[in-house]
Amino acid sequence: MRRVLRIARREYKVAVRTKGFVIALVVAPLLMGGSTIAIILTKNRVDTRDKTLAVVDHSGVVANALVEAAERRNAESIFDEETGKKIRPAYHVEIVEPNTTDPRTQRLELSNRVRRGELHAFLEIGPEVLHPGEDQDACRIAYHSKNPVMDDMRGWLGWPVNTQLRKRRVAEAGVDESTVDDTLIWLNIQGLGLVSFDEGTGEVQDARRSNEGEAVGVPAIMSMLMFMMLMMGAMPLLHAVMEEKNHRIAEMILSTVKPFDFMLGKIIGGVGVSLTASAVYVIGGIIVIRYMDLGEYIPYHVLPWFFVYMLAAIVMMGAILAALGSACNDPKDAQSLTLPGMVPVMIPVFLLFPVIKHFSQRIQFSAPAFGLNVLPKSFRLSLPDCLRRRNVG
Amino acid sequence: MNAVELENVTKTFGSVTAVDDLSLAVPEGCIYGFIGPNGSGKTTTLRMIMNIFYPDRGVIRVLGSDAVGSRIDHIGYLPEERGLYKNMKVRDVLKFYGELKSGRRVDDEVDRWLGRFDLTDWANKKVETLSKGMSQKAQFIATVVTRPPLVILDEPFTGLDPVNTDILREAVLELRENGATVIFSTHDMSVAERMCDFIFMIFKGRKVLDGTLSSIQDAYGHDTLRVRIEDGRESLDNLAGVENVRDFGRTQELRMTSDCDPQKTLAEIMSRTRVRSFEIAKPSLHDIFVRIAGPEAEERQDEHA
């Protein structure tokens, strides 16, 4: 064991004393969190130019309501309440008489107007939207624009169109709208944890309110951190072992220690590197999060398990990658084996959101080989109840 | 007692038999030279002794134990291609290997060896900055810094200038004086002749020579005439009873057939040119090597085949 630790110590010192390690320590989270930073930086940088929507209303019951809804929106929602600055584009609705004889030509003309920039989009409302029947085309509401999938206007239209249709249906049923106004009110369902019993105080504790950031963000961040640690601690083993084999360093080491001890020393060194980097990230993260007064969201009870699973994952992946490295004869071989070597690391990343969303035993057992770093993603959901609290009722 | 014993050891790589039914015994406290042409199986044999390769068949006994890898602590090994971490400082890498081998601090020994090999000024520089000769010396220090009783050196003198060759040779001789057994492989026959107590030659995976230099030479008899003549090599052409003439410039070696009378040959040479010196000698190791592994031997083997 003394020799194993001596090899591990060398591996660790050589790794953490390099400029590459320090740079990776700083750059890796920036790269990983780059998209988040980009979203934050670009959040308020929206196109505030006015947008015109042409509406071809074959039903004759929606277009005017859309004009009113757009005017209401333009009056209430496009300016910052404090600064008065325009923060969203105004929507203008242009009603176009339907061409019932040649609707295809009308669609082409409107499309050309969109292409020329005269319109942002056009909406074609089918004649039977009020009472949808079996004819899908007749009850279709079609939104045409250059980029209809990622379009804020399309998202906004859903509410005023459906509200108007509901009002018309209520009126046709002979019901006074003012008496059933609350039938159209939509209530959200609040997500809460389970009520628990606190043995310390002897009182029943109210359930904590959970949110998406906590439920998805925490396990996602921890999983990405584990992924990064694997990349820093385990992935270099493939190239390191290949180089030591090619440079005959392995011969020198193997003239002193058994191959198992040699590999074990290298893996322990990799574990040390990952522990160092993860400790920096975790401690740094805790300090930053507490500084932002978000300390209540830090899952302290999960952190020990995070480290346990991370160590297990690095040992497993390190062993696989070191073995692959020992099979390589030159850097080309190592390059070729890098991708297959990364597959066991990537699969848990692909499984991240299915596991978070549909956490179940079945998912865990369906990927036993990769379970080591899939499981922690579920800790956020399962550990608080099974380890800290005793269920009541 | 023998430091190393091999009994009927065979090692194959695919369809190639690198070492074929090899047996040898290396007595303790001697310098044992491995010679043989490239690809003959020298390094494979040394690697099997070092437990880097496992033999397909046979027994390898090192320092009295045939348990695989059990005496590895007691062997210093210098591989054919140098195995030092290029990004580490010289002193650090030597300490690493020393501590790994011995389990104790070796700072003093490292500094002593660095001083002896004139590498003190390079101790805190990275290995990658060393010249080939310096790197070779550093590698040698890594091999012997823990004073192992058995030292295995795979071509230790390759790439060294004469000064460094002498320094290394003295260090090897000192190891033997201190009781260590030294096995080394070399292509330099003069080094093997001068340094080795025993010489072992392997050719195409099989043992072809094993013994002291004199016993090997005795096996070939006094079949060599070493002469210095005034005229060139041409005056030695077509001598009766002479199989082969090797020209070293100022001297020539003539290999005689078994029924050749050296006095008659001398008389014939004197009839052609003036002879400055004349010696009936045993064949040199170089000559024996060439006889076994040279092109003529290949041709003879082909003819037999």
How is chain A split among helix, strand and coil, in percent rounded to 5? 65, 10, 30
Q: Are residues B122 and B269 in the same domain?
A: no
Contacts of B71 in chain A (CB under 8 A): none
Contacts of A7 in chain B (CB under 8 A): 100
Is there a contact between B50 and A258 if contact means CB atoms under 8 Å apart? no
Contacts of B84 in chain A (CB under 8 A): 249, 252
B103 touches chain A (CB under 8 A): yes
Q: Please give the tally of structural domains in chain B.
A: 2
Task: Give B 193-222 residues with CB within 8 A of chain A.
Answer: none
Is there a contact between A251 and B85 if contact means CB atoms under 8 Å apart? no
Q: Are residues B170 and B281 in the same domain?
A: no
Is there a contact between A252 and B72 if contact means CB atoms under 8 Å apart? no
User: Nearest Cβ partner of B52 from A6, A7, A254?
Assistant: A254
Average pLDDT estimate for B181-203: 87
Task: Give B 133-172 residues with CB within 8 A of chain A.
Answer: 142
Q: Are residues B265 and B150 in the same domain?
A: no
Is there a contact between A252 and B77 if contact means CB atoms under 8 Å apart? yes
User: Nearest Cβ partner of A258 from B69, B83, B99?
Assistant: B69
Is there a contact between A3 and B142 if contact means CB atoms under 8 Å apart? no
Interface ipTM > 0.85: no
Q: How big is the A-B interface in CB pairs under 8 Å? A: 57
Domains recognised in chain A with CATH numbers: 2-36+200-391 (no CATH), 51-184 (3.40.190.10)
Q: Are residues B208 and B244 in the same domain?
A: no
Domain ends where: B217, B245, B265? Answer: B217
Question: CB–CB of A228/A348 below 8 Å?
Answer: no
pLDDT digit string, tens, across residues B143-155: 988 888 999 998 8
Q: How confident is the model at residue A133, as a pLDDT?
A: 83
Domain ends where: B179, B197, B217? Answer: B217
Chain A closest-CA separation from residue B74 CA (Å): 9
pLDDT digit string, tens, across residues B171-181: 989 999 988 99
Q: How confident is the model at residue A391, as a pLDDT?
A: 35
Of B281, B283, B269, residue with least CA distance to B230: B269
Q: Are residues B47 and B189 in the same domain?
A: yes
Contacts of A255 in chain B (CB under 8 A): 50-52, 72, 75-77, 79
Q: Are residues B157 and B275 in the same domain?
A: no
- What 3 state SS string does chain B have? CEEEEEEEEEEEECCEEEEEEEEEEEECCCEEEEECCCCCCHHHHHHHHCCCCCCCEEEEEECCECCCCCCHHHEEEECCCCCCCCCCEHHHHHHHHHHHHHCCCCHHHHHHHHHHCCCHHHCCCEHHHCCHHHHHHHHHHHHHCCCCCEEEEECCCCCCCHHHHHHHHHHHHHHHHCCCEEEEECCCHHHHHHHCCEEEEEECCEEEEEECHHHHHHHHCCCEEEEEECCCHHHHCCCCCEEEEEECCCCEEEEECCCCCHHHHHHHHHHHCCEEEEEEECCCHHHHHHHHHCHHHHHHHHHHC
Is there a contact between B72 and A251 if contact means CB atoms under 8 Å apart? no
Q: Are residues B160 and B225 in the same domain?
A: no
Range of the domain at B233: 220-304
Chain B closest-CA separation from residue A256 CA (Å): 6
Q: Are residues B42 and B161 in the same domain?
A: yes
Interface test with chain B among A252, A253, A266, by most B beta carbons within 10 Å = A252
What is the pLDDT of chain B when averaged over all its residues? 85
Contacts of A243 in chain B (CB under 8 A): none
Minimum Cα–Cα distance from B69: chain A residue:
A258
Return the percentage of chain B with pLDDT > 70, whole number. Answer: 95
Contacts of A253 in chain B (CB under 8 A): 83, 100
Chain A closest-CA separation from residue B305 CA (Å): 37
Minimum Cα–Cα distance from B105: chain A residue:
A6
Q: How confident is the model at residue B305, as a pLDDT?
A: 59
Q: Are residues B40 and B156 in the same domain?
A: yes
Q: How confident is the model at residue B301, as a pLDDT?
A: 64
Contacts of B51 in chain A (CB under 8 A): 254-255
For residue B160 the two structure tokens come to: 């060294």
Chain B closest-CA separation from residue A232 CA (Å): 19
Is it the case that residue B138 has pLDDT exceeding 80?
yes
User: Nearest Cβ partner of B72 from A249, A251, A256?
Assistant: A256
Q: Residue B242: what are its φ and ψ, rounded to 5°?
A: -110, 120
The parts of chain A modelled with pLDDT lower than 70 are 28-29, 31-33, 35-36, 39-40, 43-44, 183-184, 208-215, 356-393
Is it the case that residue B295 has pLDDT exceeding 50?
yes
Q: Are residues B178 and B242 in the same domain?
A: no
Q: How confident is the model at residue B284, as a pLDDT?
A: 78
Minimum Cα–Cα distance from B46: chain A residue:
A255
B81 touches chain A (CB under 8 A): yes
Of B71, B286, B49, B21, residue with least CA distance to B184: B49
Q: Are residues B136 and B182 in the same domain?
A: yes
Q: How confident is the model at residue B213, as a pLDDT?
A: 82
For residue B299 the two structure tokens come to: 């041709």
Is there a contact between B86 and A247 if contact means CB atoms under 8 Å apart? yes
A254 touches chain B (CB under 8 A): yes
B69 touches chain A (CB under 8 A): yes
Domain ends where: B189, B217, B245? Answer: B217
Q: How confident is the model at residue A109, as a pLDDT?
A: 94
Is it the case that residue B10 has pLDDT exceeding 90?
yes
Residue A252 neighbours by CB under 8 Å, 6+ apart:
B77, B79, B83, B84, B97, B142
Highest mean pLDDT among A362-376, B9-23, B254-268: B9-23
Sheet-wide strand order for B224-229: B242-247, B252-256, B224-229, B275-281
Average pLDDT estimate for B237-251: 83
Q: Are residues B160 and B274 in the same domain?
A: no
Quickly count: other Cβ atoms within 10 Å of residue B36's Cβ.
26
Is it the case that residue B21 has pLDDT exceeding 80?
yes
Average pLDDT estimate for B78-106: 85
What CATH number has the domain bearing residue B100?
A: 3.40.50.300
Q: How confident is the model at residue A213, as a pLDDT?
A: 67
What CATH number has the domain bearing residue B280?
A: 3.30.70.100
